[in-house]
Amino acid sequence: MPLLLETFTSEEITARDRSHILHLLYIMIRGIAWADGLDNELVQSCLNETFGNWMAIFLQIIQSNATKNIAVRINALSCLTVIFRDLINYSRNSINIILKPVWKL
């Protein structure tokens, strides 16, 4: 996940590439979601290093202009959905950060 974050924040990639990276992140999060509540150490080892950065990126994406980069926004919302739906234990502290901007969107 650190490599995905590094690539996503690179200035050389296009919005389409960013959209694809978010889709990969979505798939990766779904792949470890089963462990939330059962093997919390596994979830933490996979997400702790970059979770805060991803949340900041998601916040920035959903607060950006609605007509720009719609595919990126859709994939960011998909990631947020799986994070807060399937990683209930892990994500509970982050919901207050993102809830108001998502509701506004």
For residues 84 and 33, the answer to whether their CB atoms sit within 8 Å is no
Instruction: Band the pLDDT of 99: cuts 50, 70, 90.
Output: low
- Token pair belonging to 32: 């470890």
> For residue range 73-92, what is the model confidence (pLDDT) as tens digits?
999 999 999 998 898 888 87
Q: Provide the whole-model pTM.
A: 0.85
Q: 68 φ, ψ to 5°?
A: -95, 140
Question: 64 CB contacts (<8 Å, ≥6 apart)?
Answer: 73
Q: Which residue has the tokens 């720009």?
A: 68
> Nearest-5° angle of CA 12, CA 51, CA 54?
35
Please tell me whether residue 48 adopts helix, strand or coil conformation.
Answer: coil
